[in-house]
């Protein structure tokens, strides 16, 4: 029979297969063992590296919301092993209130799959109640079948000491910069005061020659306007003065700014601005920003050249690179033929006190940047060495065309019978006396008081006597007494039709920018001239008569 040899052969094949399988298994086991040793070695290396770096480690299971913290993590925050908790909710409760939203938004982007990594600095409360600055880094290392993050791992680095050192360095740099700024401002003010005092002295000498006296007084007034402009620039730079917005013509803005900024230079201005383009802005502030940009261009062309200015309306979409809300914007581009800006300086040109020009204070472009941002806009720069520089400004455009502003007309002072009674509230005697004289020259009858309490009582008395004040001009800040804001509310409580004008030397105060919100019908910034007072009152009374904007 042949079955026996076949059976024997089958047994031999089975033994051979078992031997081969065993060899394969042994080899696999050996590789697995080697792999485990290698992984263990790598894990130890990573552990040593983390311990050497001083970073803490966290591991978050996104689905269960459980979070694991390494010993170093707990050590940084001063907690024992069982005190920190293991849920994200407990961890987030220790975030600094000012950082909570920012950190939450970053985590939300990871949870919703918008990004795979995060890296941000924030403060977290330690066991002793103090907050420490930490840099948190994280990365998604596992995703669910639905594409959601399943596990996120990361590290923390204690940045507190680094932050303190940065603050100290910044304070030292700021002190040095303030010294440069103070020197530059003192120089500018001395020049202005020299012109103002000198021309005023000449006017006294020329009293017997009216035409010469008038020219000297006009020159002195011009110098004083320069001083006021410099003060406004400092206020805007220091605190970012809020704009008093109205619809203004872009063409008129550029024409006025060019004529002032390029006067006395070798630089020409070329602009093409359609008359139909308007912008919602504070005219004085935006003039200042534009002049600063033009002056920067002129300073880069000491031997002469041309500043080219172009404007157009443009619509920005959502998530634009300027991070501005979607909508219509006016874009103003300023191109010069100057030497250009080195690439290493481009990121710093809007920094306060930074300047590459000898004798400059470095606040021109930073002030322009502040003004434009406060107007809800943005500014960008493009430059290359020896090829000139272009600044592009984005500002919310306006379709509104306001009625003609009487302040643009030449003011004349005619003898007329005083009709309107005006009350002036100011703690400075010099301001009260000046304002009274200005109003009397304009044909108004002026009354004065020193604080809000007196203004309220005087207004009540006049109202009861049926001799109401047509307008009250109120100083916003009265040291040790009731200021304009509080006095206005008291007057409006018993006379809702009262016409109140707010006045202040702090042009950056929010009440000045949003005066209507506080019950005022107009705002006038100090220092003011007879023209400014006249145009403000004319505008107030013209609104009363016509109801126009």
Q: For residue 138, list its beta bridge partners.
A: 118, 154
Query: 410-546 belongs to which CATH class?
Result: alpha beta
The residues, ordered by sequence, that sit 6+ positions from 312 with a Cβ below 8 Å of its Cβ are: 277, 330, 331
What pairing do the DSSP bridges indicate for beta strands 267-272 and 305-316?
parallel
Per-residue pLDDT of the chain (549 residues; tens, 9 = 90+): 445 555 666 666 666 666 666 665 666 666 655 655 555 554 555 554 555 557 888 888 877 778 888 878 888 888 876 676 677 777 778 888 888 888 888 888 877 777 888 888 888 888 888 888 888 888 888 777 777 777 888 888 888 888 787 777 666 655 555 555 555 566 566 667 677 777 777 777 778 888 887 887 777 777 777 777 667 666 655 554 567 777 888 888 888 888 777 877 788 888 888 877 888 888 878 888 888 888 888 888 878 888 889 888 888 888 788 888 888 888 899 988 888 887 777 777 776 656 665 545 556 787 788 888 888 888 988 887 777 888 999 998 876 655 444 444 444 444 444 578 999 999 888 888 878 888 888 888 899 999 999 999 999 999 998 889 999 999 988 888 898 999 999 999 999 999 999 988 766 677 887 888 899 998 887 777 777 888 888 888 876 544 444
Q: For residue 471, list its beta bridge partners.
A: 422
Intrachain domains 53-158 and 410-546 with the same fold:
no
What pairing do the DSSP bridges indicate for beta strands 445-449 and 421-425?
parallel
The DSSP code for 95 is B
Which pLDDT score is estimated for 159?
A: 85
Which pLDDT score is estimated for 405?
A: 47
Secondary structure (3-state) at 502:
strand
* Structural fold of domain 246-398: Heat Shock Protein 90 (3.30.565)
**CATH (residue range 53-158):** 3.30.450.20
Which pLDDT score is estimated for 546?
A: 47
Burial of 37 (0-12, 13-18, 19+ CB in 10 A): exposed
Residue 68 to residue 59: CA distance in whole angstroms:
5
Which pLDDT score is estimated for 39?
A: 52
Residue 14 to residue 313: CA distance in whole angstroms:
86
41-63 burial string, b = 16+ CB within 10 Å, else e? Answer: eeeeeeeeeeeeeebbbbebbbe
- Run of H or E residues at 125: strand 117-125
Among 537, 425, 530, 529, CA closest to 470: 537
CA separation (Å) from 58 to 40, 41, 70? 20, 21, 6
Pull the structure tokens for residue 214: 């008038």
Q: Are 313 and 276 in contact (CB under 8 A)?
A: no
Which pLDDT score is estimated for 30?
A: 61
Residue at token pair 């939203």: 101
Residue 11 to residue 397: CA distance in whole angstroms:
93
Among 112, 121, 118, CA closest to 137: 118
Which pLDDT score is estimated for 416?
A: 44
Domain ranges of the chain: 53-158, 174-239, 246-398, 410-546
């Amino acid at each position: 029979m042949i079955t026996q040899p076949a059976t024997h052969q089958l047994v031999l094949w089975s033994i051979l297969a078992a031997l081969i399988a065993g060899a394969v298994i042994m080899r696999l086991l050996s590789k697995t063992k080697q792999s485990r040793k290698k992984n263990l070695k790598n894990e130890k290396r990573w552990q040593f590296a983390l311990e050497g770096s001083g970073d803490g480690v966290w591991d978050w299971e996104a689905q269960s919301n459980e979070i694991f913290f390494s010993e170093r993590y707990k050590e940084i925050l001063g907690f024992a092993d069982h005190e920190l908790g293991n849920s994200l909710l407990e961890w987030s409760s220790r975030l600094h209130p000012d950082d909570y939203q920012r950190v939450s938004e970053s985590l939300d982007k990871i949870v919703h799959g918008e990004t795979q990594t995060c890296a941000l600095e924030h403060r977290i409360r330690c066991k002793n109640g103090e907050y420490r600055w930490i840099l948190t880094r994280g990365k998604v290392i596992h995703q669910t079948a639905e594409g959601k993050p399943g596990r996120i791992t990361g590290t923390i680095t204690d940045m507190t000491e680094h932050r303190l050192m940065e603050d100290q360095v910044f304070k030292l740099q700021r002190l040095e910069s303030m010294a440069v700024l103070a020197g530059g401002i003192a120089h500018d003010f001395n020049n202005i005061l020299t012109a103002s005092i000198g021309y005023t002295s000449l006017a006294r000498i020329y009293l017997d020659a009216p035409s010469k006296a008038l020219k000297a007084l006009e020159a002195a007034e011009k110098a004083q306007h320069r001083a006021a402009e410099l003060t406004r620039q400092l206020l805007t730079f220091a605190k970012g003065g809020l704009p008093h917005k109205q619809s203004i013509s872009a063409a008129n803005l550029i024409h006025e700014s060019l004529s002032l900024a390029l006067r006395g230079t070798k630089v020409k201005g070329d602009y093409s601005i359609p008359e139909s383009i308007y912008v919602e802005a504070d005219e004085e502030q935006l003039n200042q920003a534009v002049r600063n940009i033009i002056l920067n261009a002129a300073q880069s062309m000491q031997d002469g050249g041309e500043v080219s200015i172009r404007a157009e309306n443009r619509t920005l979409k959502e998530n634009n690179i300027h991070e501005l809300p979607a909508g219509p914007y006016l874009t103003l581009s300023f191109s010069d033929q100057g030497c250009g800006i080195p690439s290493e300086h481009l990121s710093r040109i809007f920094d306060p006190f930074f300047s590459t020009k000898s004798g400059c204070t470095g606040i021109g472009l930073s002030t322009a940047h502040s003004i434009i941002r406060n107007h809800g806009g943005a500014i960008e720069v493009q430059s290359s060495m020896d090829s000139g520089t272009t600044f592009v400004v984005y500002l919310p455009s306006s379709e509104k065309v306001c009625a003609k502003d009487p302040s643009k007309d030449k003011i004349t002072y005619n003898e007329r019978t005083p009709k309107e009674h005006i009350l002036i509230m100011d703690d400075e005697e010099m301001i009260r006396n000046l304002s009274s004289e200005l109003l009397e020259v304009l044909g108004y009858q002026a009354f004065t008081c020193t604080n809000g309490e007196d203004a309220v009582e005087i207004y009540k008395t006049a109202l009861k006597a049926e001799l109401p004040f047509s307008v009250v001009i109120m100083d916003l800040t009265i040291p040790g007494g009731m200021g304009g804001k509080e006095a206005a509310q008291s007057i409006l409580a018993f006379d809702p039709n009262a016409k109140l004008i707010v006045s202040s030397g702090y042009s950056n105060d929010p009440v000045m920018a949003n005066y209507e919100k506080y019950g005022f019908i107009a705002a006038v910034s100090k220092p003011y001239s007879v023209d400014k007072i006249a145009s403000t009152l004319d505008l107030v009374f013209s609104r009363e008569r016509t109801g126009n904007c």
